[in-house]
Amino acid sequence: MILNTVLVFLTDLVAHLLGNNLFRRHFHLVLSATVMFGPVLSFWVSQHSIFAKRSHFLYRMFLRSGWGWTCIFVGSFVFLLSFSSRRSLSLSLRHLSRLGAAGGLWFVFCKLLGVLGNATGSCYETLPGNPENDSQSLLVLREGESKTECLKAGMLWRGYEVSEDVFLLCLCCLLLAEETAVFGPYLNRGGFSDAPLRILFLFCVLLLSLWLFLLLCLLAYFPQFPTQLLGGALGCLSWRGLYQGWYRQVPCWYCPGRPGLGLLKNQD
């Protein structure tokens, strides 16, 4: 009984914070400012920190499979929220299709970024006997090789790149904010909410906090300008095109509609 009371109080508090109009309207601005000014933190963080190593557990466990974690938690929350409120499988699948569209867009952009990197970059190897890795100690090798083959061979790749990690984290953060922000208004209108749904909501909020933390770590410990700025801009543009453009149209066979639409019978 006490645990359920704590769960209800905590989820209501967080849901109302995320569902606040101030948060929903300005979260993307806060995220954009974080990407722009986050690298400034590199002047204060220690390079001896455990987060300054790419082999850290959080990077290996979550960052490399960020889209999978997002789909698991957000997909479960969206399906349970929509199905428990209307008991309609078609409505639940329509809301889940937003994740499919966002995943398809992310996949296409990653492929395009890989093609761009291979087309504009070159493979370099440090000259023997010169320990300094400055620009004068590099030798161009087999320019026709791909970026993956070059890095696997232990050589250096230089070209025009867009940070796929920052792109993914920004897109996932904005997607999580959009999908979870409807829970507050949903509760205010008397929507059905049991313990599993509330627990899933809290897991989504924890995942959003983790993505924000990893984004700050990448910007602070591995600053790469302007590749990270371009990655953040691409993530924000993808969100705006989907959630502020396409999903705001009238739901039909080619448009899943905005989050929360049609979940309550008395909804307009």
Domain ranges of the chain: 61-121+159-248
What would the pLDDT profile of 227-265 be if each residue is shown by its tens digit? Answer: 999 999 999 999 999 999 999 998 888 899 999 998 875
Q: Give the separation between CA 240 and CA 252, rounded to whole angstroms.
A: 20
Whether the bond between 226 and the residue before it is cis, its omega within 30 degrees of 0, is yes
Amino acid found at 101 = A
Going 125 to 130 to 134 to 138, the CA torsion angle's sign is negative
DSSP, res 49? S
Contacts of 158 (CB under 8 A, 6+ apart): 121, 122, 124, 138
Q: What is the mean pLDDT of each run of 10 residues along the chain (268 residues)?
A: 90 94 93 95 91 90 93 96 90 95 95 85 69 50 70 77 94 97 91 91 97 96 93 96 94 91 66
pLDDT of residue 118: 81
Predicted pLDDT at 141: 60
Q: How far apart are CA 24 and CA 29, in angstroms?
A: 10
Distance CA 166, CA 216 (A): 10
Contacts of residue 263, defined as CB under 8 A and 6 or more positions apart, other chains included, come to 81, 82, 85, 86, 91, 182, 186, 191
Distance between CA atoms of residues 70 and 63, nearest Å: 11
d(CA 146, CA 84): 49
Residue 101: CB atoms within 10 A of its CB come to 15
pLDDT tens digits, one per residue of 38-53: 999 999 999 899 999 9
At 265 the pLDDT is 57
